Structure 1
Amino acid sequence: MSMFKLNLKIALRNLWKNKSITSINVGGLAIALAAFILVMMYFTHETGFDKTNPNYKNIYIVGRIYPEFKTNYTSPPLLKAIMQNFPEVENGGLVKEGSYELPLRNGNKTVITKSFMQIDYNAAKILNIKPNGGLGKPAGEMDRLTYLNEAGMKTLFPDKKDNKPEMVGVGSSNSGITSKINGAIANNLQSSITFDAISLANELGQGESYGYNNYYTYIQVKPGTDIASLEQKITKLYQAEVSKGETDEKRIDEVKKVTTFLDLLGNQHLRPKAGNDAPYKILIAISILGILILIIASINFTNLSIAQASKRAKEVGVKKVMGAYRFQLTTQFLTEIFIQCLVATVLALMLAELLLPSFNNLFQVNLSIWSVKNNLIWQLPLILVLITMIAGIYPALVLSGFKPALVLKGNFSTSKQNYWLQNSLLVFQFCIAVTFIIGLFVVNSQLKYMRSQDLGFNANQVVYIKNIAIFNNPAKFAPVREKMLKIPGIKAATVATGVPDGSGNGTNGYTVNGTKSSIDFVDVDFDYFETLNIKLKEGRFFSQAFKTDTANSAVINESAAARFGITNAVGQTIRGCDMDYKIVGVVKDFKAQGFESAVQPTIYAIKNPCGNQKLQIMLKIEENKMAAALAALKAQWPEINAKDGEDFRYEFLDELYGKLFKKQEQLQSVFFAAAMLTIFIAILGLFAFAKYITNGRTKEIAVRKILGASDIQILTLINSSFLVMVVVANIISWPIAYILTSKWLETFAYRIDLPVFPFVISAFITIFLAIFTVSLQARKSVNAKPIDALKYE
């Protein structure tokens, strides 16, 4: 114990004696650790989705693979066939997403359920969905149990203490529709299955055929099941079921091209097979950035500790002569490093707490440092020990290994091995900084390109109105349109099954001239293309002057014409959903799904027996009359659209579309922070290292000045070695940055060519900062009088 106290006292004295170096060490490490803590918490949160489900490793979603795309949507009969044929499947259930926001009322209190999910009893069991008071089973085949999330229940019934059912109004206050809410349900925020309310049935999809592909099928398999084999068996079953009774050989061949897949529940949040894995790639990128920032801070630590070695040489020599063992000296030096790491960790926690609100806002999460769920309670002590070992073990071994006879005679000098190690570590730091700078400029360039590119449609001044009235019949929407167009400033109005906000459309099989392909469909009304300012390539848009447009006319996009290999599309027939459409126009491709996915071949029709519900109202409004028009719409909405009543809700389409850039904007912010951090930490290390080097060359500088060297010549001499290191760091980093940024750009269907500018500017920035930092530090030694450095020689 007395030895530990002595080591602690010596450590504290040495740290205090070298306050500037200690501050640089602790400060740099604290900043890096704060960034790493935030990244760790985010990684733990993002990879923890669905893990509260005890069977999450055995739960899969069943999806289909077409030659052109993958989808998680399946039909109800497939689940029945799977349950009847494969004993390795323990349970299976169906889920159907709600298609619109539904207002629920209790007196003057209203909640808007943004996702009203339909789910059967078996799916609720598989997905561990438990209402407060337990999962109940509906009494009859047609009965439903409805549960609202806890926040919604609290809003509608603030004084409610029990979990008894309550009656609520549905839709507008004068709709007269009521429904029973059977209880509250806690919504798991760390689940890929999210909802505001659920409608629980014994069974979903009764009587629906294989053509109704708008359900999610979840299965729970027995532990140890061969998933690849089960996938193949389900594919054969699906092909046999869909081909049953089919005699057309061409149709049978088409069915055989469709296969099925199983995708783990745990994959759905970050990297679904039928979806975008950009969130996973960005999470990995952010995690690597966090690790690299911590590494360069540890490198700083190692570098500066080795640089301090010469000052500690005589201390080590005296201790060894007095009988100290190398192990004791190593322990002493590791104690010093541990104290610095401990202080840095405490400071890092404080800094992370200050940065957390901004971090939560950027990533749309609700993380807390003081939550047990974030695993910091065991991760931080482990990191503290690891940093102490990584940053301290080599310097401690170097310091404890000095030979007493040499150092006490004054013949000590750091070995060439140490010199090369220090330089290599400094080069490595700048390599990381250069890579981040290049990454930042490339991300900026791609985002600038995305924001400035012609989307093929104009989202500006377009208002998307959220609505619960279904307008599949154009005659039903006509009076609503007429009333809206009477409001000054509203130039165009339409309704459709979807808005161009990056969300997927429905798909179906269509045939032109014997060529069949699955393409997207969007069911629209008159003025759809005019409202969005979509450009016409050939033919015409839908027009009320042509009565056939509401019966069998269709417009396709350029990609659809290319898919079917038709050049003069207007006037040709396209068959789908057991009816023939006449193509009246071809529109130019527009980026409804954003920049990561290529424009999908799409058919637009006013009538579609296999279509979805037309709910999405879009209005084109003059900019200078926007506020007045929205106010008038809100006031007149109960009269214009009685079913919606007073629930007038809207979003600006350009803001909605802008959310597609959210992940890339997050990456931009992270790269900016990482670039600033790595440059800052690398410059801190360079500053301290330059101080050590110039202090060691004080006498050399004095002699050179006496021999006539100018200040510029001496500064050039001191800068030259550091300049070489920075240039080497750039040369090493460029191919690495090129590969990484090229891989990232490949995730976009529409992207920039990799520019040269980021590589040039990264070299300029790092070289300038290195020269400035070293010159700033060396100025004191250069300006010093030679006699002060040589008077004791």
Structure 2
Amino acid sequence: MFKLNLKIALRNLWKNRGITSINVGGLAIALAAFILVMMYATYETTFDKENPNYDNIYVVGITYPEFKTYYTAAPFAKAIKQNFLEVESVGLIKESSFELTIKNGKKTLFTGKILAADYNAAKILNIQPKGGLVQPSGDVERLTYLSDKSMKTLFPSKKDNKPEMVGFGASNSGITGTIAGSIKNNLHSNFVFDGVSIGNELGNGDNYDMNNYTICLQLKSGTDVINLEQKITDLYQAELLKSKKGKRNDEIKGISAFLDPLSNLHLRPKAGNDTPYKILIALSVLGILILVIACINFTNLSIAQATKRAKEVGIKKVMGAFRLQLTTQFLVEIFMQCFVAIILALILAELILPSFNNLFQVQLTIWDLENKLFWQLPLILLVITIIAGIYPALVLSGFKPALVLKGNFSTSKQSYWLRNGLLVFQFSIAVVFIISLFTINSQLKYMQSQDVGFKTNQVVYIKNLTLFNKPAKMGSVNFEPVREKMLKIPGIQSATVATYIPGGTNGINSYSANGVKANIDFVNVEFDYFETLNIKLKEGRFFSNTFKTDTVNSAVVNETAAAKYGMKNPIGQTITGSGIEYKIVGVIKDFKSQGFEIAVQPTIYTINDPHGDYKTQIMVKIEENRMAEALAALKSQWLQINPKDGEDFRYEFLDELYGKLFKKQEQLQSVFFAAAILTIFIAILGLFAFAKYITNGRIKEIAVRKILGANDLQIFKLINKTFFVMVLVANLISWPLAYILTKKWLETFAYRVDMPILPFTLSALITILLTIVTVTIQARKAVKANPVDALKYE
């Protein structure tokens, strides 16, 4: 019996190969997209899951009135360990703030991510060097390991894992050290590094003014995290009161601690940006909706084919076939189509994967057991067979033999409304995608065309190891001689150095002015910082060599900072922070240093900050027509210009670095573009086949109308009318949903376009036009046919 049903299934599929191809092709395209989305979702939601302590690891964060951060003071780690029995282990980590050069003879390695960790943190985070994790001896020793890739760069022919001597910094620095071995860099982790430096303890001698470490906790199983969070907050407030005697109790009460699980850090950090999570949710919803549309196509076309199978069902029932047997037969046919669709989908996904990996900066592969496709695909095959096939199978197997064999069969009103409803649903989803795409495009155009308040073009960011500060901190040097040498090179208009560059995060510190105390952003700069970036002055002046006090206690603030402290006439007023009373000499106009998603933060700029970070970020403004010449001169003269940095000259263009802030939104634009194209394509495929079925069912009606005098245009209007109404209804249904979704997305931007009307109008025009063209092409054959051919047997 099974063999017979299989033969019948194959014959039917071949006989209706046009509809079969549309069914299988549309489903394969949707499945390919869904497979890629599943792989990406699996990858994004499994960061650090290889860690055996995954469920019990938390990071300690601090909440201030203005912001949240994972950076805290090293002594707090010891305090937590000493006070809470539910904490099994406490570790400290610190990421490097600048690029480090490591040399082995003529071979040079530039490391941007050296992770410093104490021994406990290495155990908590499952950091495993080759040969196992070894505890350093004493408090001073540091065991440094480099990733496998980094070790191959420095020691390409190395076969063993023995320690190696290397040089740090420039060739003339004279600083050497030992690399203890290699370590696997787990790219599927929140803690990615070029190398790891492990010590017994970190932060010895630090106090509660130095918030530059991250505390990792491993809790005992069953710990009440919410209760522990409150106890850690109480402890932190008590420690602050002891360490900062001048601090008022009400100020301390505004500060609290929180625990963020390891599972949150990649997608939904409490002290960070959850844009990756939103993109993952959007991508997952898109993948599911595209697959649903394809399943709707399948269901719609299968029901539309019902009349062709009616007599077959009638004869089988007369011959004694049960409904369950017929249902099974039809489900087998549908299963075969779905199976072929999955094979084609895997081929398509493999072809698209390189572009997908490039867009999302990942390295996914289909043929990897870790992506879980080996069990997900069979489950998907079963689910789509049931979703796409169960209703058509029940409809087909439920025909009454007496009626169909008399020729009185017609599909029920329920099937008619279901087909039309599913078609409306398909186009509703397509319209939402089209509107979303146009809205995203509008916001991106706005972001790319708006004046951000400073200019990054012609500015080169030079990577540098030398620490610059004025007045000089311990181990730092004066930037002025370096600046003077650079300005002698033809084409260089200005040069400066700062603690941070636009596009990244700034430092945060507490400042008081005008009776108000608040945590605000700070940037430590040198002369010509504002001129190099072409930042506009609102009132007062920039820093200048002609004013000796500028290197001692002068400050420039932005408009938002002046407003924060309620300063109507800020020039000449005092703002106190880092133990210095700064005199405000200038107010700059607000500029979007952190992009469009975050509102401009109140910021203070100073030359002298004893508690600030080192100035390492060199920026040079170069004449456009002399860019290549100036960069070549800088490279050849760098050892003489900046001796402590050495012969290694590296640079990036600042506009490219700032442009990375738009990367996630550009990804979203690409995703919605692909989704809109796919949904429209799949919907049009279904519409094409459905229009063919409807047209074929009305051939005799069309013939009679033509004989009675109807022209081609009238008949085209007649056939298009039903589909036109359905697409119009789809637009009306989808507009409110699209409005809500796109409005919520736009609200994630501090600076955004007003809700545009054009996308709604364009979505209607595009879908109606595509519908009319598709139906007209399909109906043309029936309209142009000779009426005699359709009526000759009547």
Specify the alignment match of 1:484 in structure 2.
486
Separation of aligned partners in 1, 2:172 and 2:150? 21
5+ unaligned residues in a row in structure 2: which ranges?
472-476
Q: Tell me by how many angstroms 1:514 deviates.
A: 2.4
The residue number in structure 2 matching 1:99 is: 97
- CA deviations on 1:401-431 (whole Å, 9 max, x unpaired) are 0000000000000000000000000000000
- Looking at structure 2, the residues matched to 516 and 243 of structure 1 have their Cα atoms a distance apart, in angstroms, of 17
The equivalent of 1:574 in structure 2 is 575
Q: For residue 34 of structure 1, what is the aligned residue in structure 2?
A: 32
Matches within 5 A, 1:284-299: 284-299=281-296
CA positional deviation for 1:675: 0.2
Aligned mates of 1:139, 1:479 — CA distance in 2: 42
Please give the alpha-carbon distance, in whole angstroms, between the structure 1 residues aligned to 2:130 and 2:591: 46
- Please give the alpha-carbon distance, in whole angstroms, between the structure 2 residues aligned to 1:769 and 1:776: 11
Other structure's SS at 1:214 match: strand
Please name the residue that 2:407 is paired with.
410
Query: How far apart are the structure 2 equivalents of 1:433 and 1:624?
Result: 48
User: Which of these residues, 452, 456, 466, is aligned with residue 455 of structure 1?
Assistant: 452
Cα distance in structure 2, aligned partners of 1:180 and 1:581: 44
Please give the alpha-carbon distance, in whole angstroms, between the structure 2 residues aligned to 1:246 and 1:746: 39
The 5-angstrom pairing of residues 144-183 of structure 1 reads 144-183=142-181
- CA distance in 2 between partners of 1:720 and 1:59 (Å): 62
Alignment of 1:696 with 2:693, yes or no, is: no
Q: 2:263 aligns with which of 243, 262, 266?
A: 266
What's the TM-score, normalizing by structure 2?
Answer: 0.99
Counterparts of residues 437-516 of structure 1 (less than 5 Å): 437-473=434-470, 476-501=478-503, 503-516=504-517
Whole-angstrom CA distance in 2 between matches of 1:593 and 1:387: 44
Partner of 2:126: 128
Q: Secondary structure at the match of 1:181?
A: strand
Q: What amino acid is aligned across from residue 262 of structure 1 in structure 2?
A: L
* Residues 740-765 of structure 1: CA deviation (Å, up to 9, x unaligned): 00111111111111100000000000
Contact 2:66 2:519 in 1 (8 A): yes
Contact 1:246 1:252 in 2 (8 A): no
The DSSP-based 3-state class of the residue aligned with 2:60 is strand
Per the alignment, in what secondary structure is the counterpart of residue 38 of structure 1? helix
* Partner residue in 2 for 1:393: 390
User: Distance in 1 between the 2:672 and 2:174 partners?
Assistant: 54
Which residue of the partner structure matches residue 12 of structure 2?
14
Seq. identity, %: 73
> How far does residue 77 in structure 1 lie from its aligned partner after superposition?
1.4
- 1:265: Cα distance to partner? 1.0
* Structure 2: distance between partners of 1:161 and 1:98: 29
Give the AA of the match of 1:27: G
1:774 is matched with 775
Q: Deviations over 1:73-102 (max 9, x none)?
A: 110111111111111111111111101111
Confirm or deny: 8 A CA contact 1:117 1:197 kept in the other structure: yes
Distance 1:258 1:731 in 2: 49
Give the aligned residue type for 2:107. K
Q: Structure 2: how far apart are the matches of 1:579 and 1:639? A: 35
Question: How far has the Cα of 1:245 moved from its partner?
Answer: 6.5
Q: Aligned partners of 1:227, 1:750: CA distance in 2, in Å? A: 37
Amino acid aligned to 2:138: G
Other-structure match for 1:672: 673
> Which residue of the partner structure matches residue 314 of structure 2?
317
Write out per-residue CA displacement over residues 335-363 of structure 1, whole angstroms, 9 at most, x where no aligned residue.
11111111110000000000000000000
Across the aligned residues of Structure 1 and Structure 2, the Cα RMSD in angstroms comes to 0.9
Q: Does 1:369 pair with 2:370?
A: no
Q: Any conservation in 1 of the 2:208–2:243 contact (CA below 8 Å)?
A: no
Supply the AA of the counterpart residue of 1:478. Answer: E
Residue-pair matches, total = 789
- Aligned-partner Cα distance in 2 for 1:213–1:622: 40
Q: Return the offset for 1:174.
A: 2.2
Q: What is the match of residue 526 of structure 2? A: 525
Bigger mean CA offset, 551-560 vs 408-417:
551-560
SS in 1 for 2:768: helix
Q: Is the 8 A contact 1:698 1:789 kept in 2?
A: yes
Return closer, same or farther for 1:375/1:75 CA change in 2, 3 Å cut-off. Answer: same
CA distance in structure 1 between the partners assigned to 2:82 and 2:646 by the alignment: 47
The answer for the alignment partner of 1:546 in structure 2 is: 547
Q: In 2 relative to 1, CA 498–247 (structure 1 residues): closer, same or farther, beyond 3 Å?
A: closer
Alignment pair present for 1:723 and 2:686:
no
CA distance in 2, matches of 1:6, 1:637: 82
1:350 equivalent in structure 2: 347
Counterpart position of 1:378: 375
CA distance in 2 between partners of 1:113 and 1:345 (Å): 43
Shift of 1:577: 1.1
Per the alignment, residue 745 of structure 2 pairs with 744
* In the alignment, structure 1 residue 228 sits paired with structure 2 residue 252: no
Q: What is the CA-CA distance between 1:251 and the residue it aligns to?
A: 2.2
What is the CA deviation profile of residues 354-376 of structure 1, one whole-angstrom value per residue up to 9, with x for unaligned ones?
Answer: 00000000000000000001000
Deviations 1:182-232 (A, max 9, x none): 010101111011111111111111111111011111111111111111111
For 1:627, the aligned partner's letter is: A
| Aligned equivalent of 2:213 | 215
* Equivalent position amino acid for 2:230 in 1: Q
Structure 2 counterpart of 1:30, one-letter code: A
Give the C-alpha shift of residue 246 in structure 1: 5.6
Q: 8 Å contact 1:147–1:181 — kept in the other structure?
A: yes
- Match of 1:406, as an amino acid? L
Moved over 6 A (4+): none
| C-alpha distance after superposition, 1:108-133 (max 9, x if no partner) | 11111111111111111111111111
Query: What is the CA–CA distance in structure 2 between the aligned matches of 1:72 and 1:599, rounded to whole Å?
Result: 21
Q: 2:201, 2:515 → 1: CA distance?
A: 38
Quick one: which amino acid aligns to residue 117 of structure 2? Answer: I
Q: Is the 8 A contact 2:426 2:683 kept in 1?
A: yes
Residue of structure 2 equivalent to 1:196 = 194
Amino acid paired to 2:295: S
Secondary structure of residue in 1 paired with 2:432 = helix
Paired residue for 2:474?
A: none
1:239 aligned counterpart, secondary structure:
helix
Q: Residue 513 of structure 1: CA displacement?
A: 2.4
Q: Which residue of 2 aligns with 1:657?
A: 658
Q: One-letter code of the match for 1:343?
A: V
Q: Distance in 2 between matches of 1:520 and 1:246?
A: 21
Aligned to 2:12, the other structure's residue is in SS state: helix
Given that residues 86 and 219 in structure 2 are in contact (C-alpha distance below 8 angstroms), is that contact kept between their aligned partners in structure 1? yes
In 2, the alpha carbon distance for the partners of 1:307 and 1:197 equals: 62
Letter of the structure 2 residue corresponding to residue 200 of structure 1: I
1:21 partner SS? helix
Asked if structure 2 preserves the Cα contact closer than 8 Å seen for 1:509 and 1:519, the reply is yes
In structure 2, the residue matched to 1:4 is 2
Q: How does 1:751-770 map to 2 (within 5 A)?
A: 751-770=752-771
Q: Choose which of 292, 295, 300 in structure 1 pairs with 2:297.
A: 300
3-state DSSP class of the match of 1:365? coil
Match of 2:136 among 135, 138, 142: 138
- Does the Cα contact within 8 Å between 1:166 and 1:183 map onto a contact in 2? yes
Amino acid at match of 1:504: T
Structure 2 counterparts to residues 1-80 of structure 1, below 5 A: 3-80=1-78
TM-superposed CA distance for 1:473, in Å, is 2.6
**Structure 2: distance between partners of 1:442 and 1:257:** 40
State how far apart, in whole Å, the 2-side matches of 1:563 and 1:224 are: 44
3-state secondary structure, aligned to 2:479:
helix
Secondary structure, aligned partner of 2:415:
helix
Change (3 A) 1:246 1:613: closer
Query: What residue in structure 2 maps to residue 599 of structure 1?
Result: 600
1:185 aligns with 2:183: yes
SS at match of 1:134: coil
Distance 1:492 1:464 in 2: 12
* Distance in 2, Cα, partners of 1:243 & 1:569: 32
| Shift in alpha-carbon separation, 1:638–1:277, aligned structure 2, 3 A | same
CA distance in 2, matches of 1:636, 1:171: 17
Distance 1:446 1:716 in 2: 38
